[in-house]
Structure formats: structure tokens, C-alpha cells
Amino acid sequence: MPHVVVKLLAGRSEQQKGRLAAQLVKDVMTILNCGEESISVTIEDIKAGDWAEKVYNAKIAPNRERLYKKPGYNPFE
């Protein structure tokens, strides 16, 4: 049962987040060959001032070996 977590800088509209979730569900269904009923998506808004602490330093940097798409740069170094 795939659960997708997306962390975004705050400011995207509910429409944008809904479209993103819908597209992610479609892609997960296609790639993993599973039904829509087994997929869930969480979208977390993160304030720009909190991004380094709550996302980059906590989730990205310590897990670089598990990232399938790495950020192109680290704006916090």
C-alpha cells in the first residue's frame, strides 16, 4: 500500500495540491500496478524559514543514499 508524502513550501493553492495528488495517484497506479484504493497522499506545507530544519537537515541530508532524486544543490551549506 503506497503512501506518498510531499513536503512543499507553503503557498500553493488547494487546487494545485489536489492536482498534484491526483497525478501522483495516477502515476503510482501505472508504475506499481496497484489500485487507487490502496494509495494515499499527504501534502505538508512547510514555511520557508522552517525548510532547512524540518526538511533539508531532518529528511534530505541524512537520507541522501536513499534519495531517488537528489536536489541539485544545497542552499543551506
From the list 2, 62, 71, 75, the catalytic residue is: 2
2 catalytic? Reply is yes
Residue that has been written with the C-alpha cell 532524486 in this structure: 69
HEC secondary structure over 30-67: HHHCCCHHHCEEEEEEECHHHHHHHHHHHHHHHHHHHC
**Nearest in space to 75 (alpha carbons), one of 5, 4, 9, 6:** 9
- Name residue 54's amino acid: K
- Indicate which residues carry an active-site annotation: 2
